[in-house]
Amino acid sequence: MPIQFRFHPEKAVEAAAILMKLHGKPMKYLGLLKMLYIADRIALERIEQPITGDHYVSMKYGPVLSGVYDLIKGKPIDDALPLWSEYISPGDKNFVYLVKDPGNDELCEEEEEILQEVYQSFGHLDPFQVAEWTHD
């Protein structure tokens, strides 16, 4: 039986916001999805639970966080869409931007460090390069 985690929309918003603040401008949503996926994987290894608790689906460019992907596309996930939309908005069909900072009350220090490490390693890369990395 696979292990399942509970999706934490508050943590997903805060994690996305950290990556977007580090980026400093609208971000391609593929890059955001890939970095959140990598951060979840690292967190699972280090602290035995993912940051977002989202579940993953395989798509054309590799695994993505299903709930976050749906929120980016404006699809309601339980009651998470209003929360997501309050802080993160689609800039156009390929980009998202930070509307306002949600803070970081839900994230622990180690999760924040993981997100910063992931951005330092992958934030400067084209999202399609990161997608290739997640296929390995």
136: in domain: no
Mean pLDDT is highest, among 2-6, 55-59, 103-107, 126-130, for 103-107
54: in domain: yes
Rounded CA gap, 104 and 133, in Å?
28
Q: In this predicted structure, what is the pLDDT of residue 82? A: 92
63: in domain: yes
Tell me the pTM: 0.91
Report residue 65: phi and psi, to 5°. Answer: -80, 115
Q: Read off the pLDDT of each residue in 106-129 and give the average, rounded to a whole number.
A: 88
47: in domain: yes
**Are the CB atoms for 110 and 39 separated by under 8 Å?**
no
Each residue's pLDDT tens digit, 27-72? 999 999 999 999 999 999 999 999 999 988 888 777 889 999 999 9
4: in domain: no
Residue 16 has pLDDT above 90, yes or no: yes
Residues spanned by the domain of 38: 9-128
Task: Quote the number of domains for the chain.
Answer: 1
80: in domain: yes
Reference 133, options 31, 22, 7, 21; nearest CA is 31
**Are the CB atoms for 95 and 27 separated by under 8 Å?**
yes
3-state secondary structure at position 111 = helix
